[in-house]
Amino acid sequence: MSTFKYKGKTISIPNGYSQLDVLKSLRKGNNVYNTSFHSKEFNDIVSTHWPNRKLISKKAKGNVYIIEFNVELLIQNVVNNDFYFTIPQDILRDNRIKILIESSFCDLLPSLDTDQTNDKTYYNIIFNTINKYNLEKNRLCIVGLFENIKHINGIDYIPYNYFFYSTSPIDSEFISKKEQEIEQLTNRKFKITCLNRKPRWHRLQLFDYAFKNNLLENNHHTFAINYKQVKDFTNEEYGFYNILPYNTDLSEPVIYHEQFSQVSKKPLNQSYVEFITETRYEENGPVIHTEKTSCPIITLQPFVIVSNPGSLKVLKDKGYKTFDKWWSEEYDDIINNNERIKVICELYKEMSNWTHDDWKNIVYEMKSTLLHNANLYRKQYKQDVLLHDINNYIEKFNLDK
């Protein structure tokens, strides 16, 4: 990795970028540089969540050239549709070297068949690079968050299992404690938990439905945004602006899933069920499961996933059990986004109307399902499933050489 001097400091140039790219970020402010091109401080934080992430480079054994991409590069307009990655001549000449584009920090789907501008730009950047250097597609590999994609227009796509990100490994004592709470038919403060931070269409629709139907007060529903953030996101009008930012439980700070630890950060089991408003909703096909989905699993809590169609199916393929014995999960098969959110909203209302006694008995009945899921998560976490697919890919690539 090359370096240059900037205002008396030695600045590293990450793989895939030029000195001009880094200068463009620096001139926007050091904070932009730190988030766009992962600084030492940022990597120190990352290593606490991904202690084995550096094994990617070790396993590569010089046969993989890794380019890290961050969505901040798009947000801060450091790169655009005309951008292409800078590939050194020695890398280009050696066809044995795989070019791995690592975007596991980004909610980016490299596709033109999407409504999200950043997705299209990311796709264009990748194919600009291919065209610039006349690269064979089989020399590239994209690492990202989507779990059920194997190829992007002829390029290998490897999932980075974000499902296991930032959640502490749980032990048998923790699981036993949660099991006892279920067996004792413990009364919970709320019926539904639904935690939200960034504005997204499905989150706004569900929150608006709960607001209009007076369902917020009996559920722990949060939305850590203000009026301006909603208006920057959409031109659609909502009636709840004057209550933002919103948190039903004012005795607790507004909580985000990524702050979770089993000790104190997330309000454990304050409700009977969680409505998980996942990162993606509108794309039919690609599925992301983040820490938002794994949190209720490790706290022995049932859930409804407000996400892409097929999200429950992908979870079942991992070995997890869902809850169609107790309520309809037809929403997972509904392709139309408006129809799917309508069914989910109706389910939210139905569950809000169940009594606490109803809920305690339902959760008791599903105890074996909840235990199965928590124990399976614990087992898979210990097996380092986070990096499983990419490690296997690199090892196979090395063997092929």
Question: What digits encode the pLDDT tens for the residues 171-196?
Answer: 888 899 999 999 999 999 999 999 99
288, 176: one domain:
yes
Considering 101, 132, 160, which residue would you say is the last residue of a domain?
160
225 in a structural domain = yes
Residue 382's H or E segment, with its range, is: helix 367-382
pLDDT at residue 199, rounded to an integer: 94
133, 252: one domain:
no
Low-confidence ranges of the chain (pLDDT < 50): 39-53, 255-266, 399
pTM of the model: 0.84
Strands (E), 165-272: 192-194, 220-223, 246-247
20, 150: one domain:
yes
pLDDT at residue 24, rounded to an integer: 85
pLDDT at residue 376, rounded to an integer: 92
Interatomic CA distance for residues 113 and 115, integer angstroms: 7
- How many CB atoms within 10 Å of residue 371? 17
pLDDT at residue 163, rounded to an integer: 78
Question: What digits encode the pLDDT tens for the residues 320-330?
Answer: 999 999 999 99
Interatomic CA distance for residues 295 and 184, integer angstroms: 22
Q: What is the mean pLDDT of the chain?
A: 84
205, 152: one domain:
no
Considering 160, 184, 215, which residue would you say is the last residue of a domain?
160
Chain centroid to CA 326:
27
pLDDT at residue 46, rounded to an integer: 42
Domain carrying residue 50:
3-160
Q: Where residue 363 sits, what CATH number does that domain have?
A: 3.40.50
241, 358: one domain:
yes
Give the count of domains, the chain: 2
310 in a structural domain = yes
